[in-house]
Amino acid sequence: MAPHSEHGYQAKIDSLVADITAARAELLADVDDLKNQLTLPSLGKRGLTAAAGIFTDEFGGIKPKRAAVTAGVLASVVGLKFMTRRHK
């Protein structure tokens, strides 16, 4: 009976080794994916997409109210900067 129990233990060990190997491969793939997501170009692309999402709807059209408010605020800031420079 000893050979059967040793074979059973070996099968369990082999199964554990296979599970650990698979988990390790999955972890390495996740780490590589995370490294790719954290490169400067991909961060910039995600930021640009997020910023574009503020001014566009789900169909890709521009949201006129947000664009107008942003343009107005930008024009006000530029105007104030211009006026403060002229008075100095």
Tens digits of residue pLDDT in 12-42? 999 999 999 999 999 999 999 999 888 988 8
Q: Is residue 53 part of a domain?
A: yes
Type of residue numbered 49: T
Res 35: pLDDT: 92
Res 85: pLDDT: 82
Beta strands in 1-88 (DSSP E): none
The model's pLDDT over 43-86, given as tens digits with 9 standing for 90+, comes to 898 888 888 888 888 888 888 898 899 999 999 999 998 888 86
Instruction: Indicate the pTM of the whole model.
Output: 0.45
- Residue 51's domain comprises 6-85
Q: Is residue 1 part of a domain?
A: no
Q: Report d(CA 27, CA 35) in Å as an integer.
A: 12
Res 88: pLDDT: 55
- The number of folded domains in the chain is 1
Q: Is residue 40 part of a domain?
A: yes
Helices (H) and strands (E) counted in the chain, each on its own, are 3, 0
Cα–Cα distances in Å, from 52 out to 42, 46, 57, 60, 76?
A: 15, 10, 9, 9, 22
